[in-house]
């Protein structure tokens, strides 16, 4: 009886897959107005989703946002967040830096050009973005800037949240989508972090040629290697959706049990905070599959999955904005957005209105280069299938085994030892210029926040130089700039050491009385996982 049920389920899944593939045409014909409307819908949806999730971003980690918790939306709401927190829109202004570069330098501009324009933009970055910016500032160029040995945040979702523009400029052109994704994504990520952005790029590209969210998801996942953890994670969402088609929370719970873990991000390992690309992409998939194409329902589900609950609904809203078009986004969502459409995003000279036009121009150029027809009012997109991307998997042989809470200040040197094959320090350089020594003595590092330290961070030219000695040999000299855009996120890390006992000593070569280096936590790794 059990075998019969399994066979029936497999036949249903195979039939669904076959039907899904039948939904994909060999070419798609749109009017230029329709293409423009879809591109506008992608940008508008992304921005709406970011704002909708703003009050819940990383407030619900390891839990869903239950129905009793209201999520506000209303008149002037986008403008409120625009004025209150410009950094909220990092999803969009990162995208727009690349869009603006492509507009000015041409669609074939080099990875190095894209990387430098990104790295020297004057806006706040975090996680993999800031780690790669630091690398580029110090001569470590892509793909090394996004490689996990040089970037502890390589599996974070940074590329995933800023890859939307790629699918908007390569509608239905999956080989071109993946080429641009590889050119941009390896600036700040590698492995599953790269696949997250490639996946999102594919979602947008596929939304131009299908009106079925399940088909769009299938097409976007095709170029991702099946051996990768990223593919397996998103594939589990598909399987759970087939098993629990009406219960997104049950799907979320099963995904939480299996996938809600982080091995790379120093802020998230062994904590509830999870900015890993896989689990957050799973929440995108949950929103798309369980929302069934309904804009409001899909955005709400993706938001209520928690964790990065502004970025994930932004992707969902952007994909559905492409699928249905700007003109089909419900008015109560769209009207508040219109108040800021002509205003430039932080650190760029690009507004949404300009983004609509730039991406439309880029899409027409890409369609023509791919052999499509863009003459007159008609656009014919030659739908293409991409090859599977090369397999990349970060942190292989690196299993986090312990998070050691230190709460220590380094004044001239700091040392520790451990058993394993790697470590990463979660900490930062802090400015004492406006803080009394008595206050520092009385208050632990745990309770001293950024509102006290870092007051001179924006333009402070000081750079700490710290020697990192491992097993009595100088490994490297870490530069820790105080300036926000130049900062190094982690004082030190080292992976793939020989398994065994290791000693680490940090020597501050140019200490200054106005600064301290804060050692919050140290995460230790081993080639053997904890059982």
CB 398 within 8 A of CB 496: yes
Q: 159 vs 94, 167, 441, 530, CA distance in Å?
A: 9, 13, 40, 30
Class assignment of domain 29-382? mainly alpha
Backbone angles phi, psi at 145, to 5 degrees: -65, -30
Provide the 10 A C-beta neighbour count for residue 385. Answer: 10
Q: What is the pLDDT of residue 444?
A: 42
Question: Coil, strand or helix: which one is 285?
Answer: helix
Question: Coil, strand or helix: which one is 281?
Answer: helix
Q: What is the pLDDT of residue 7?
A: 41
Query: Residue ranges of the alpha helices (H) in 23-89?
Result: 32-52, 77-84
Paired tokens of 227: 């051996």
Task: Assign domain 399-526 one CATH number from 2.60.120.260, 1.10.10.60, 2.30.110.10, 2.40.30.40.
Answer: 2.60.120.260
221-227, Cβ contacts within 8 angstroms, sequence gap of 24 or more: 222/174, 222/385, 222/386, 222/388, 223/174, 223/178, 223/198, 223/386, 223/387, 223/388, 223/389, 224/195, 224/198, 224/199, 224/388, 224/389, 225/195, 225/388, 225/389, 225/390, 225/391, 226/388, 227/391, 227/393
Phi-psi region of 415 (alpha: psi -120 to 50; beta: other; left: phi over 0): beta
Q: What is the pLDDT of residue 447?
A: 39
Q: What is the pLDDT of residue 347?
A: 84
Backbone angles phi, psi at 308, to 5 degrees: -80, 70
Q: What is the pLDDT of residue 459?
A: 81
Q: What is the pLDDT of residue 433?
A: 74
Q: What is the pLDDT of residue 346?
A: 87
Give the integer Cα–Cα distance in Å for 206 and 43. 15
pTM of the complete model = 0.92
Q: What is the pLDDT of residue 448?
A: 39
Q: Give the closest residue to 207 by CA, choosing from 38, 382, 385.
A: 38
User: Which positions of the chain have pLDDT values less than 50?
Assistant: 1-21, 434, 436-456
H/E element, 470: strand 463-470
Q: 286 vs 168, 234, 279, 293, CA distance in Å?
A: 22, 9, 10, 12
Q: What is the DSSP secondary structure assignment for residue 351, as one 8-state letter? A: B
Paired tokens of 396: 């292989």
Q: Give the start-to-end residue ranges of the domains of the chain.
A: 29-382, 399-526
């Amino acid at each position: 009886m059990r075998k019969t049920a399994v066979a029936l389920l497999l036949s249903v899944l195979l039939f669904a897959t076959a039907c899904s593939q039948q939904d994909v045409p060999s070419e798609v014909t749109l009017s230029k107005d329709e293409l423009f409307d879809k591109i506008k819908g992608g940008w508008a949806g992304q921005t709406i989703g970011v704002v909708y999730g703003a009050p819940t971003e990383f407030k619900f980690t390891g839990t869903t946002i239950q129905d009793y918790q209201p999520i506000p939306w209303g008149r002037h709401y986008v403008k409120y967040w625009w004025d209150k927190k410009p950094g909220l829109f990092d999803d969009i202004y990162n995208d727009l830096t690349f869009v603006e570069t492509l507009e000015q330098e041409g669609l074939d501009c080099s990875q190095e050009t894209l990387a430098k324009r990104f790295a020297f933009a004057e806006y706040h970055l975090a996680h993999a973005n800031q780690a790669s910016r630091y690398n580029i500032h110090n001569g470590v160029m892509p793909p090394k800037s996004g490689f996990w040995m040089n970037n502890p945040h390589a599996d974070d979702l940074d590329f995933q949240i800023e890859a939307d523009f790629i699918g908007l400029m390569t509608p239905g052109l999956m080989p071109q989508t993946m080429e641009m994704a590889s050119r941009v994504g390896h600036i700040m990520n590698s492995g599953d972090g790269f696949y997250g952005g490639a996946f999102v790029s594919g979602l947008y590209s596929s939304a131009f040629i299908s009106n079925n969210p399940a088909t769009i998801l299938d097409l976007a996942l095709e170029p991702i290697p099946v051996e990768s953890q990223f593919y397996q994670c998103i594939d589990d969402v598909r399987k759970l959706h087939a098993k629990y088609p009406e219960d997104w929370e049950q799907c979320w719970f099963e995904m939480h049990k299996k996938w809600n873990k982080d091995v790379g991000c120093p802020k998230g390992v062994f904590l509830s905070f999870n900015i890993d690309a896989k689990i957050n992409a799973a929440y995108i998939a949950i929103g798309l599959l369980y929302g069934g194409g309904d804009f409001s329902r899909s955005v709400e589900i993706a938001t209520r999955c928690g964790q990065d609950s502004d970025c994930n609904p932004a992707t969902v809203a952007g994909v559905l904005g492409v699928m249905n078009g700007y003109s089909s986004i419900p008015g109560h969502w769209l009207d508040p957005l219109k108040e800021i459409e002509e205003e430039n995003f932080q650190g760029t000279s690009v507004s949404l209105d300009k983004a609509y036009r730039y991406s439309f121009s880029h899409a027409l150029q890409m369609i023509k280069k791919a052999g499509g027809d863009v003459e007159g009012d008609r656009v014919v997109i030659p739908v293409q299938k991409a090859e599977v991307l090369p397999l990349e998997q970060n942190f292989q042989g690196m299993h986090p085994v312990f998070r050691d809470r230190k709460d220590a200040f380094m004044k001239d040197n700091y040392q520790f030892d451990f058993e394993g094959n790697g470590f990463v320090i979660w900490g930062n350089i802090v400015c004492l210029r406006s803080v009394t020594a008595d206050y520092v003595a009385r208050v632990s590092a745990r309770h001293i926040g950024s509102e006290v330290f870092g007051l001179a961070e924006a333009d402070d030219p000081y750079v700490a130089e710290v020697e990192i000695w491992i097993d009595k040999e100088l490994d490297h000299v870490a530069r820790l700039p105080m300036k926000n855009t130049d900062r190094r996120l982690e004082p030190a890390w080292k992976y793939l050491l020989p398994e065994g006992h290791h000693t680490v000593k940090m020597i501050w070569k140019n200490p200054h009385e106005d600064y301290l280096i804060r050692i919050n936590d140290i995460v230790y790794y081993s080639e053997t996982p904890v059982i």
